[in-house]
Amino acid sequence: MLNLLAILLGGALGAGARYGLGRLLAQTAWPIPASTLLSNALAGLIIGFVLGLEPAGHSLNERTKLFLTTGLMGGLSTFSAFSWETLGLLQDGKVAWAAGNMALNLVLSLGLCAVGMGVARAMYNSQ
């Protein structure tokens, strides 16, 4: 039951952070949705760091890991919003922008996830 509460709390905080990013970046002149891109990229970085701790020999307890990964990063990452916004770009005939949006979300999210894992390993393997 406590694991579920940790996930729910993390999810609420992650969704609130995503909303805040959306409000903060609402006025950007980017032709792609910047807040979704940033949310996905940050979630990739943070989940990579958290999950990179274990191979580095510094695992978090299960409840903390669930709070951060399933909850907080699940609430922050926005794959459904990314899908909807990319479909909107395609429907508006902005095929190149839709392709760029897909590429940026994929490359940044995966790349920053790898960076997060690398940072966790470097921090804890050097001690």
Q: Round the CA-based radius of gyration of the chain to a whole number and report it.
A: 16
The phi, psi pair for 9, rounded to 5°, reads: -65, -45
- Check residue 126 and give its pLDDT: 67
Q: Please name which of 113, 108, 104 lies closest in space to residue 86, comparing C-alpha atoms.
A: 104
Selected residue with higher pLDDT from 59 and 16: 16
Q: Are 39 and 23 in contact (CB under 8 A)?
A: no
Q: What is the mean pLDDT of residues 89-109?
A: 95
pTM: 0.79
First to last CA, the chain: 36
Query: Does residue 79 have a pLDDT over 70?
Result: yes
Chain centroid to CA 5: how far? Answer: 21
Confidence bin at 127 (pLDDT 50/70/90): low
Are 55 and 121 in contact by the 8 Å Cβ rule? The answer is: yes
Count of domains for the chain: 1
Which residues span the domain enclosing 68? 2-26+34-125
* Per-residue confidence band for 54, with pLDDT thresholds at 50, 70 and 90: confident
More confident residue, 30 or 97: 97
